């Protein structure tokens, strides 16, 4: 969920971040943020109760600070991350105002969607008077494969995230912000969130052989079209018996590969979503694309290329967008974004 700041007082923002941090710590332990059933009969419950006794369910909550936090309102211009700017217009953008922008963002992830929903609902409730809700997406599915798990699939039916960042050296080189940015961002990251609508029913009517050419991988195994197993390294110059390139140069994996983008990598943490039925009577669903990187230029470079040439563009449209600075996790006894007010 993203939010607009409706208060122009720096103290209100500071207090909200401190209260959110304390509440998040409670929620991540599976505890309510206050009484679910107050002893006073006329009292309003601090916690809405729908996750009571469900446990922590591996809940994590990530706070994002949008460019608007660092405008004239709060006196924080000198703390603005060097690379935090609204994203430029990008190819394949079909952005809708109702799914774009935001001063703050909260991302809650949990093994139980009711636990994640409860966290966002209660944090949004705590923010009333300081923030107003802007847009939200409820995602489902796994964002990546854990130990012993297979790579998750998106709603196109293909494995999604086979070549995602896994090595610690890649996190250091491509995800975590280093010494070149403002001090409070060191160890944090930049987050890009995109709501990508898929033309599900058109895709489903296409033959699988064409789908595989679009993606550049086999649908069942997830192998690159130049190989046999999912984790085979794609060979983007391999040709078949007829002399044709096995992985089309405008396939999704060819355009996104770090080998073809001067080594650029991003950490993808994306989820499927569905919003029921569209105004045209078709399935309204797609991908909540969330990515983390040490510079937003990494996403911009990839999306300019993908948006211009990707065969997948026939079946998708980017309808929502936001960019946020993600502060590092606070030390015990401190709160998210505390260094902004020092």
> What are 183-229's pLDDT values in tens digits?
999 999 999 999 999 999 999 999 999 999 999 999 999 999 999 99
pLDDT of residue 147: 86
Taking phi first (over 0 means left), then psi (-120 to 50 degrees means alpha), and beta for anything else, what does residue 337 get? Answer: left
Average pLDDT over residues 299-310: 97
Q: What is the pLDDT of residue 54?
A: 97
- How far apart are alpha carbons 234 and 241 in whole angstroms? 18
pLDDT confidence of residue 75: 95
Residue 158 corresponds to which tokens in the numbers above? 């293909």
pLDDT reading at 34 higher than 90: yes
Helix (H, G, I), strand (E, B) or coil at 286: strand
Q: Which residues contact 88 (CB under 8 A, 6 or more apart)?
A: 300
88 neighbors 45 (Cβ within 8 angstroms): no
- Is the model's pTM score more than 0.85? yes
* pLDDT at 162 (0 to 100): 97
Q: Compute the radius of gyration of the chain from its Cα atoms.
A: 21
Nearest-angstrom CA–CA distance, 124 and 16: 10
Q: What is the pLDDT of residue 279?
A: 87
Q: How far apart are CA 9 and CA 15, in angstroms?
A: 10
- Count CA atoms within 13 Å of residue 167 on its CB side: 6
Nearest by Cα to 66 from 76, 52, 56, 51: 76
Task: Give the mean model confidence (pLDDT) for residues 279-299.
Answer: 96
Tell me the CA end-to-end span of the chain in Å, nearest whole number.
27
Residue 68 Rama label (left phi>0; alpha psi -120 to 50; beta): alpha
Residues 113 and 222: their CA atoms lie apart, in Å, by: 27
pLDDT at 335: 98
Count of residues making up the chain: 342
């Amino acid at each position: 969920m993203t939010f607009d700041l409706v208060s122009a007082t720096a103290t209100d923002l500071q207090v909200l971040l401190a209260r959110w941090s304390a509440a998040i710590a409670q929620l991540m332990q599976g505890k309510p943020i206050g009484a679910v059933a107050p002893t006073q009969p006329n009292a309003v419950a601090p916690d809405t109760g729908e996750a009571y006794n469900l446990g922590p369910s591996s809940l994590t909550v990530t706070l994002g600070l949008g460019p608007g936090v660092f405008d004239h309102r709060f006196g924080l211009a000198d703390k603005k991350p060097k690379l935090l700017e609204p994203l430029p217009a990008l190819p394949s953008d079909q952005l809708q105002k109702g799914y774009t922008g935001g001063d703050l963002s909260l991302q809650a992830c949990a093994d139980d969607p009711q636990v994640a929903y409860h966290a966002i609902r209660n944090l949004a409730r705590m923010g009333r008077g300081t923030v107003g809700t802007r847009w939200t997406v409820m995602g489902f599915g796994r964002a990546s494969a854990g130990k012993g798990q297979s790579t998750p699939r998106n709603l196109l039916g293909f494995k999604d995230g086979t070549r995602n960042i896994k090595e610690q050296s890649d996190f250091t080189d491509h995800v975590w912000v280093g010494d070149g940015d403002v001090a409070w961002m060191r160890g944090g990251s930049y987050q890009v969130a995109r709501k990508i609508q898929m033309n599900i029913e058109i895709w489903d009517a296409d033959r699988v052989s064409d789908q595989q050419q679009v993606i550049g991988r086999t649908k069942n195994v997830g192998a690159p079209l130049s190989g046999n197993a999912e984790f085979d390294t794609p060979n983007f110059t391999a040709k078949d018996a007829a002399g044709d390139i096995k992985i089309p140069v405008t396939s999704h994996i060819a355009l996104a590969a770090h080998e073809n983008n001067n080594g650029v990598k991003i950490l993808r943490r994306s989820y499927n979503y569905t919003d029921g039925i569209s105004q045209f009577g078709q399935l309204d669903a797609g991908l909540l694309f969330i990515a983390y990187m040490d510079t937003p230029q990494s996403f911009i470079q990839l999306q300019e290329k993908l948006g211009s040439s990707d065969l997948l563009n026939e079946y998708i449209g980017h309808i929502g967008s936001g960019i946020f600075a993600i502060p590092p996790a606070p030390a015990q006894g401190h709160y998210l974004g505390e260094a902004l007010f020092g």
